[in-house]
Amino acid sequence: MNGLSHVDDDGRPQMVDVGGKAITRRSAVATARLRLPAHVAATLRSNGYATAKGPVFQTAIIAGTLGAKRTHELIPLCHPLGLDGCSIEIALGDDDCVGIRCSVSVEHRTGVEMEALTGASVAALTIYDMCKALSHEIVIEDIRLVAKHGGRRDVGTPS
């Protein structure tokens, strides 16, 4: 065994067979952050968090949710999952950074870490897309898993 779950002993990629695993409650939380130039943050604040393309954060929440639901279509070896829940929170801080938090849950044989990471990433990309007319100096950073529960081991705390 090579230690990588998505690679067989001969080095070939494989989808993990989860058929023998028990169905349990699984959840994951991922975050992402965007650093905005000061004038972009000021414009968003003064325009009620909207641009000519529409309401930025609301659109990003919908896009991130869609991304989480369709993770298996984007990441080749992910299992298709019917998510039980997906919640995305977005806030612009005083430091002109946008924080994104994506929480995902399912009752299944496999975890939802990739779904949470994809949801946060797609939300961040959507904000970039909706604000790029104001600046291309927006930086997407610090996309990471902060918690996962269920399965073999828990990581982090969901709060």
Q: What is the tens place of the pLDDT at every residue in 44-101?
A: 999 999 988 999 999 999 999 999 999 999 998 888 999 999 999 999 999 999 999 9
With CA atoms as reference, report the closest residue to 32 among 102, 92, 86, 93.
102
Confidence at residue 4, expressed as pLDDT on a 0 to 100 scale: 64
Q: Give the predicted TM-score (pTM) of the model.
A: 0.90
Of 17-26, 37-46, 100-109, 144-153, the least confident: 17-26
| Architecture in CATH for domain 24-149 | 2-Layer Sandwich (3.30)
The domain ranges of the chain are 24-149
How many CB atoms lie under 10 A from the CB of residue 43?
17
Alpha-helical (H) ranges within the chain are 38-46, 56-69, 71-74, 113-131
Catalytic residue from among 84, 96, 129, 142: 129
Q: Which two three-digit tokens encode residue 129?
A: 């897309």
95 catalytic per annotation:
no
Give 146-158 pLDDT, tens digit per residue: 999 987 788 887 6
